[in-house]
Amino acid sequence: MTLDSVIMLVGAAIAVLPFLGFPQRWDAVLYFVLGVIVVGLGIAVRRGSARIPKRMQPRRAATYVESKAAATEAHDAGTQS
């Protein structure tokens, strides 16, 4: 079972828990246990994303690159005849 499916399963359990009719103490214990599991999964996901090698991470390129003055001057000189 992948980490994503475990997160969805725990989320579904938390969503359904109030409608199952457990006594209040059981609900409190189950909410606590599921909360600890969610925190643990969050830590696991955070640590797992830190392990991605640099070559696998998307490159961040500049969104704007200024054109060189020589290229625009040559273009302007050719159009002014």
The series of mean pLDDT values per 10 residues for the chain, 81 residues long, is 86 92 93 93 82 64 67 61 53
Find the radius of gyration of the CA atoms of the chain.
Answer: 28
Distances in Å between the Cα of 66 and the Cα atoms of 40, 72, 79 are 46, 11, 21
pLDDT of residue 45: 85
pLDDT of residue 69: 66
Instruction: Name the DSSP class of 17.
Output: G
How confident is the model at residue 4, as a pLDDT?
Answer: 82
Predicted local confidence at residue 52, as pLDDT: 62
How far is it, in rounded angstroms, from Cα 44 to Cα 48? 6
Q: Write down the pLDDT at residue 40.
A: 92
Owner of token pair 């059981």: 26
- pTM, two decimals, is 0.56
Which residues have C-beta within 8 Å of that of residue 64, sequence separation ≥ 6?
none
